[in-house]
Each structure stands twice: as structure tokens, then as C-alpha cells.
Chains A and B, each alone.
Chain A
Amino acid sequence: MLTQLFSDIGSIWAKYGTVYLTGIGNTLILATVATLIGCVIGFFCGILQTIPYGPGDAWIKKALLKLLRAVIRIYVEVFRGTPMILQAVFIYYGMPYFFGVSFKDIWTVSILVVSINTGAYMAESVRGGIMSIDAGQFEGARAIGMNHFQTMLYIVLPQTLRNIMPQIGNNYIINVKDTSVMFIIGFQDFFAVHKMVSGAVFKYFPSAFLEMGGYLFLTLLASFLLRKLEKKLAGESNYELVNTDQLVMTAGTYQFSGSAPYEEKNKDYQGEKP
């Protein structure tokens, strides 16, 4: 029995192997690009959602910020609350009705749909990530005169990114699998290849077997690489103490005496105050 299965798989692969591989390639490109764009959308929403306003601000500013938060909220609820397969149909077939244009390129629609869907989830992940950052980080940044966007861009979001890497990984793996629904608008991903091949040769199970193995391989690989990336983002656990020679190279004429108390070091310090 099993020999039959493997010979079927072998014959399918011999004939359609390159088609499967193209499908895998398309799936990976779509999932990767859409996850990255989704992250950007999510971080963007995160920055906009957290613009602070207080009782002292002008009413127009408060009204605009409240409106902005409401718009983001609606975006998140709509795209998180409906199936992606329907969103694809909605956008692909709805565009001509609303804007009088239709998409010529199936890639554009697919990336658009998966990106905004991922963005809706990411917006919430980023919001959670920002909430997990200690209030002292915001205060430290504000105290040296950074505005909201600088605080977010240079201090808070880099830390948020590190904290929500597991969620980004989750989203990526979900996307690798769930981009399969884009076959509904004719996107040629890995799963679409299964529909095509099994329809042509009437061997449903061997093809499904191949697909199962293929998807599992992709997601395991993705999760392995994501772990690596997470480790890299965590940074070095060691640091080098800087000795005199390096400082002479970098900053001019310092005389740094390693273990003296700092009062004495100040006297030894030969550099001019910049």
C-alpha cells in the first residue's frame, strides 16, 4: 500500500515538481512581503494610537486624535473580524464598483489583502508591546527633549520589536499557511498547485501528502530562523571594557587611568571640553 503511495508521489513529482516548487516560492514571497508590510502598518498604527493628549490641549487636536484612534480601531475590528478569504473577494471584485478600476496584477491584490489583514493583527500586538515598555523609558526620552515620534522611533519601538518578535513569528507562520486562501482570486500559491495537479491527474491523497510535508517543512524552517533572529535582536551578552589605546584612537588625547577614583581622573583628563 505504502509503496503505491510513494510511487504515486514520485510520478507526480517527476511531472509537476517544478510547478510545486514555483508554488512554494510564490507562497513564501507573498507571506514574507505581506508580513513585513503588515509589521510596518502595525508599528505605524502603534505610533499614531499613542500620541498623547492632555486636558490642556486645544479641542481641535483632541478631536483629531480621538478620530484617528477611532479609525484605527475600526480598521482593526473589521479586518480582524472577517475571514481573509472574503476580504480577498471583497477587494478584488469590489474595486471596480467603488473606484471604477480593477486590478490587473493578481500579485498586487494578494499582497494588499494579506498585508492589511496582517496589519490589523500587528496593530494590536504592537499596542500590547508598547504597553509593556516601562513608563520610565518614555519619561527618560521626554526629559531630554524628544518629541513623541522621536521617543517612539529611537527608544520605544526598538524595544517593542524585540518583545513582540514571538508574535511576529506567529503571524508569519499563520501567513505561510493562510495565504492558501488566495487561490480564490486565482493566486498561484503552493495550495493552488495542489488543486491544479490533483484535478489533472485525479490523485488527491498523494498530492495532499506532498503539500502537508511541504507546509510543515516551511513552517518549521520559518520558526527556526525566527528563533535565530530573536537571539540576534537580544544583543550581545558580553561587552568589552574600553582601554586607553582604543580611546586614543577614537577621541583624541585622553589619559585614562583605569582604577583611579573619578575625581582624580578628571584632573588627568587632557581633552578639551567640546
Chain B
Amino acid sequence: MSEAILEIRHLSKTFGTHAVLKDVDFTVNKGDVTSIIGASGSGKSTLLRCVNLLETLTTGEILFHGDSVTGGKINQSAYRARVGMVFQSFNLFNNLTVLDNCVIGQRKVNKAPKNEARDRALYYLNKVGMLPYINARPAQISGGQKQRVAIARALAMEPEVLLFDEPTSALDPEMVGEVLDVMKSLAAEKMTMLVVTHEMSFARDVSTQVVYMADGVIVEEGPPGQVLTNPQDARTREFLKRFLGQSN
């Protein structure tokens, strides 16, 4: 049994009267690559945003190494610094260069020394293949490049878990590959990842665990071989039939 990093317990989220998440329970273990799949509006992204406390939970709690991060005892900023997030729309800081995007969090949040922060930023920018572009601003690079910088920015904080919120959905088709390759190399290094995705090939080939969501609940979860090739629930089968029919 591996070590649980994140435990989501009885999480519910309502916007007004609309229940987006209903009593969601699941655990992320160290080294897991969990893909969350499901139709648009099933609550996948909201779940991820709740995990990073970008949304306030209506009920339920989130445990990080067994400690509640929603009770108000733990410093939420410190928790966020340990849990990286990569957004669909990149959200790079427009006023900073590529290098400074990867340095600022280390300097201001982790209080890293200047040279160390710079070296670490360069290390991760090299890892995602963006080293030549360190002087560029976000507006000057392509979508795929932005997303790779966003991944480097999250990695530079040396988080224990990385959350990906549909990282390739805003990209042109020819740029999806470069971002997925980076994510695959992270998975190979046993980075713990929680990925909301529509990329079924990534879910099938890279992840160790697949969660299928519909209407705010987890319908089915398990290893990709089980959920994707031998789904137990009729809704999962229907979703996969529609999805795989067009993409694979």
C-alpha cells in the first residue's frame, strides 16, 4: 500500500442551487498518475479546482498527508505551493519573461536564494525544451510553448502533486503532442499527477488510475485497463463508445 498524498472526503460543491459535485470520495497515492475523464459539465474541472482550493468547498474536506487543508488550521498558500496546477488557459504572468515566470514563485513564496531559484528555473525550462526562450514574454510564444512554460513554472516550485486542468484543450492539434510528451516524461519519473483530460490515449497509456465522472459523481474508477477496456457501468460504456469512436 503506497502513501496517500491527497484524500478527498465527501466533497460536494453547489453553485446556487446547482449541484456540480455530489459526495465525491477518492484518494491520490504517491506516484499515481490519475486521469479524470468524463463529458463536459460532469464536474471534472470543478473537482480539480476544489482540490487546489480555487473554489471553496460546500461540504466535505481535503486531506493532504492526512491533515485537513479545509479546516482553516493549515496555511492555504503554503498548501497551494506544495500542489502545482497547470491550467487550460496557461495563465502565465503576462508582465514577466518566461524565466521570471518560473522564478517569482520560488523567490517570493519558497524564499529561495536568487541563484538557486534561477538555476532551478533553467533546469525545468530545459526539461520542457523552453531554454532558448527564457527572455521571451508570454505574448510572444505559441500556445504549446506557453503550456510547457506553465508546466516548468509549476515544477520549479517542486510540488508533491501536479494538477492538470485540461492542459491540451486550448491548443492547436499540432501542439498537443509536445505538451503530452512533457507529461509522459514526468509520469515516467513517477511524478504524482492528477489530470483532467479528453486525451484518451494519455489516459490509457500513461495513467495508472482512471476516474470516470458523470453528473458530479464518480461513476467508475480503477486501472486504465479495467475502466477503459472493460467498463462495468453502462454510462462509462456509452461515453467511451462515443469518444473512442472518433479519436482512436
Contacts and interface: CB of A to CB of B under 8 A. Distances in A.
B89 A159 contact: no
B154 interface: yes
Contact of B127 (A162, A242, A262): A262
A142 B131 contact: no
B171 interface: no
Contacts of B119: 251-252, 271, 274
A143 to B, nearest CB: 4
Nearest to A255: B126
Interface in B34-91: 52, 54, 56, 72, 77-82, 84-85, 87, 89-91
B153 interface: yes
B105 A254 contact: no
Contacts, number: 130
Interface of B: 52, 54, 56, 72, 77-82, 84-85, 87, 89-97, 104-105, 108-110, 116, 118-120, 122-123, 126-129, 131-137, 140, 150, 153-154, 157, 178, 181-182, 185
Contacts of B126: 254, 256, 265-266, 269, 271
A235 interface: yes
A247 interface: yes
Interface residues of A, number: 43
B61 to A, nearest CB: 12
A266 B129 CA distance: 8
A143 B52 contact: yes
A252 B92 CA distance: 27
A142 B82 CA distance: 12
Contact of B140 (A134, A150, A239, A242): A239
A154 B104 contact: yes
A150 B182 CA distance: 29
Contact of B108 (A143, A150, A258): A150
